[in-house]
A and B are shown apart, each in its own frame.
Chain A
Amino acid sequence: MSAVRAVAGRRAFRVSRLVTYALLLVVAVFYLLPIYVIVATALKSFIEVSHTTPWQLPTAPSLSSFTDALSTLSPSFINSILLVAPATILSALLGSLNGYVLSKWRFRGADLVFTLLLFGMFIPYQSILLPLVLVLQKLQLYGGIPGLVLTHVVYGIPITTLIFRNYYAAVPSELIEAARIDGASVLGVYRHVLLPISMPGFVVVLIWQFTSIWNEFLFAVTLTLPDQWPITVALNGLAGSLLAHYEIQMAGALLTALPPLVIYVVLGRYFIRGLLAGALKG
């Protein structure tokens, strides 16, 4: 457990290394077990699922459960893409503008405004759900993807603002002052000084918003009707209608998890940054 003491012999060193590895492996098995179960079950046939344990490997692996799951889930997969793309981009743009103003144009009370914005990120959405439904109905946006886009853009503002504000805070104010002296306007400074160096900030925010919106369930299940369901709602519906067909459920779960997992594998570093931004100190 403890770090190796300078005086300790090589033998003690090796033993503690082995113990560390053994413990790390045990923890890793806990995290990987559900993935193993998903893959092993999804590759089985319905008959095999009903008389083998989730731990046994399939005797004759087949992809037919994936075709079954895909035939039910593909419309909602498209819905999710139509939801995630605009919602992610719009909330990133708003967050970038807010982050710029709140870090570089710190007017009187800017910190209070920021804190009041941040509170929106922590509220339980059950406490705004009823008026949200009523307002979306009034705007004729209830039941479809556009209303859900609006919802995710609005409730995405706090986290995207937080990440960009922390990101821009590290940009030296001298850069902005120099541009001002050269005659750049407030927007000019944003476009010509900050935007060109914003790429890493955008990557963190886009990944974070993509993952959260893709995975979200409460808004999706309350604000959309079946033909507009995003993938998480459709997966839950599939599990409810094919109760005993665990192989199709697991194939569906894998398909639902795939886009965020691919992003995590490729751009994990940025994902972790977004994650820790939620703890305020990026």
Chain B
Amino acid sequence: MRGRSLGSFSWDRFTPFLLIAPSIVLIVIFVYGFIGYTAFVSTTTWYGIAPDYTSAGLSQYVDLFGLPRFQADISNTIEFTVLFLAACILLGFGSAVLLDQHVRGTIFFQNIFLFPLAISFVVTGTVWRWIFNPNFGINLLLDDVHLGFLKSPWLADTRTALFGLVIAATWQMSGFCMAMFLAGLRAIPDELREAARVDGATEGRLFLHVILPLMRPITLSAVIILGHISLKIFDLVYVMTFGGPGFATDMPNLYGRGAAIAMVLLFMVALLIVPYLVWSLRQEVER
């Protein structure tokens, strides 16, 4: 529908633009302008408090990728993201399938699975740091239930700290996957299941060949949404470990505020998000 003035003021056709102009100006400055500025700073020698715009070309990036600590950061981030996504999708899909069985108390369980999403990462970090305390926390519980072999130094050891973070982040975010998959499962028409059964499909085959393929677009959305959250997971790491021990859980955003690091991070997020946005823009246009 087009803005046409029907007897009202002639400037009325410009009102829509005036209404969104403030937001557009703000976003152009605060998102695109600021990113441009950060990108510019990443090509200067600025070091210390006073701005210094001497050009450094791409040397910041070259130096960065040569640092063992930064290489460790990148591989930690990727390892964390893969484990976190896998855990969220498995747990989220598993609980969605359970909740889709029309059992009593579905709403009750659904609320329990979703409430961590309403909590701050800072709270989550504070609580799980206590649970993972090697002398008091979960290790003693594992002893009590005769699973002592699972005991570990958790956040205090470079090899296990990342798992501790994955568990805490999964606790917080997996409900999101559950909600997405549950919405997807409920959108499958009963006729489709019936038709497959009439054709003689067993429940297992129905699940494998009808239901799972229908979950593919949802899984993709979940990977994109949780993936970009995972790349940006500054709060939780900061609260739980401060990047320690050593720098095993340290991720680029924690590692200084260098503009170059921020740009690398932005690039990683954009790699995930831009195709998604372009795809949904195309869908809009087709509609």
**Chain B contacts for A271, CB-based, 8 A:** 117-118
Closest chain A residue to B1 by CB distance? A173
B35 touches A257 (CB 8 A): no
A2 touches B203 (CB 8 A): yes
Give the number of residue pairs across the A-B interface with Cβ within 8 Å.
285
Q: Which of B55-63, B68-76, B154-162, B229-237 contacts its partner?
A: B229-237
**Chain B contacts for A186, CB-based, 8 A:** 3, 12-13, 15-16, 19
**Minimum CB–CB distance for A170 against chain B, Å:** 13
A155 to B35, CA, bound (A): 13
**Chain B contacts for A206, CB-based, 8 A:** none
Chain B residues 83-110 with CB under 8 Å of chain A are 91, 94-95, 97-99, 101, 103, 109
A264 to B118, CA, bound (A): 7
B6 touches A217 (CB 8 A): no
B15 touches A275 (CB 8 A): no
**Chain B contacts for A57, CB-based, 8 A:** none
**Chain B contacts for A246, CB-based, 8 A:** 130, 133, 136
**Minimum CB–CB distance for A31 against chain B, Å:** 5
**Minimum CB–CB distance for B242 against chain A, Å:** 9
**Minimum CB–CB distance for A66 against chain B, Å:** 15
- Known A124-B266, A186-B15, A261-B119: A53·B112 in contact at CB below 8 Å: no
B122 touches A185 (CB 8 A): no
**Chain A contacts for B214, CB-based, 8 A:** none
A279 touches B225 (CB 8 A): yes
A54 touches B137 (CB 8 A): yes
**Chain B contacts for A55, CB-based, 8 A:** 140-141, 144
**Minimum CB–CB distance for A131 against chain B, Å:** 4
**Chain A contacts for B277, CB-based, 8 A:** 115, 118-119, 122
B273 touches A122 (CB 8 A): yes
B1 touches A41 (CB 8 A): no
Among A16, A128, A176, A180, the residue within 8 A (CB) of B30 is A128
Among B4, B34, B101, B103, the residue within 8 A (CB) of A131 is B34
Looking at chain B's contact residues, the main secondary structure is helix
Chain A residues 28-63 with CB under 8 Å of chain B are 28, 30-34, 37-38, 41, 53-55
A121 to B38, CA, bound (A): 18
**Chain A contacts for B180, CB-based, 8 A:** 276, 279
- Known A31-B116, A126-B253, A249-B130: A157·B27 in contact at CB below 8 Å: yes
A125 to B38, CA, bound (A): 11
**Chain B contacts for A114, CB-based, 8 A:** 284
Q: Does A154 reach chain B (CB closer than 8 Å)?
A: yes
- Known A120-B31, A232-B120: A183·B126 in contact at CB below 8 Å: no
B239 touches A20 (CB 8 A): no
**Minimum CB–CB distance for A153 against chain B, Å:** 8
- Known A186-B12, A186-B19: A275·B117 in contact at CB below 8 Å: yes
Among A1, A187, A276, A278, the residue within 8 A (CB) of B15 is A187
B112 touches A278 (CB 8 A): no
**Chain B contacts for A249, CB-based, 8 A:** 126, 130
Among A120, A124, A214, the residue within 8 A (CB) of B231 is A124
Q: Which of A100-108, A140-148, A196-204 contacts its partner?
A: A100-108
Most buried by B among A23, A38, A122, A265: A122
- Known A34-B131, A124-B253: A185·B19 in contact at CB below 8 Å: no
**Minimum CB–CB distance for A114 against chain B, Å:** 8
What are the interface flags for A19-30 relative to B under an 8 Å C-beta threshold, 1 for contact and 0 otherwise?
A: 011011001101
Q: A21-B103, A98-B23, A260-B120 are known; give 10 further A-B pairs, CB within 8 A.
A: A2-B204, A27-B113, A105-B3, A119-B31, A126-B232, A157-B26, A161-B23, A232-B235, A235-B126, A236-B238
- Chain B residues with CB under 8 Å of chain A are 1-4, 6-9, 12-13, 15-17, 19-20, 22-24, 26-27, 30-35, 37-38, 41, 91, 94-95, 97-99, 101, 103, 109, 111-124, 126-131, 133, 136-137, 140-141, 144, 171, 175-176, 179-180, 183, 193, 197, 203-204, 206-207, 221-222, 225, 228, 231-232, 234-235, 238-239, 253, 257, 259, 261-263, 265-266, 269, 273-274, 276-278, 280-281, 284-285
Query: Can you list 21 A-B contacts (CB < 8 A)?
Result: A20-B101, A23-B98, A41-B130, A116-B32, A117-B23, A119-B31, A120-B31, A122-B277, A124-B262, A127-B263, A128-B31, A157-B26, A173-B1, A183-B8, A187-B15, A215-B119, A217-B120, A232-B120, A232-B123, A246-B136, A260-B119
- Chain A residues with CB under 8 Å of chain B are 1-3, 5-6, 16-17, 20-21, 23-24, 27-28, 30-34, 37-38, 41, 53-55, 94, 97-98, 100-102, 104-107, 111-120, 122-132, 135, 154-155, 157-158, 161, 173, 176-177, 180-181, 183-187, 211, 214-218, 232-233, 235-236, 239, 246, 249-250, 252-253, 256-257, 260-261, 263-265, 268, 271-272, 275-276, 278-280
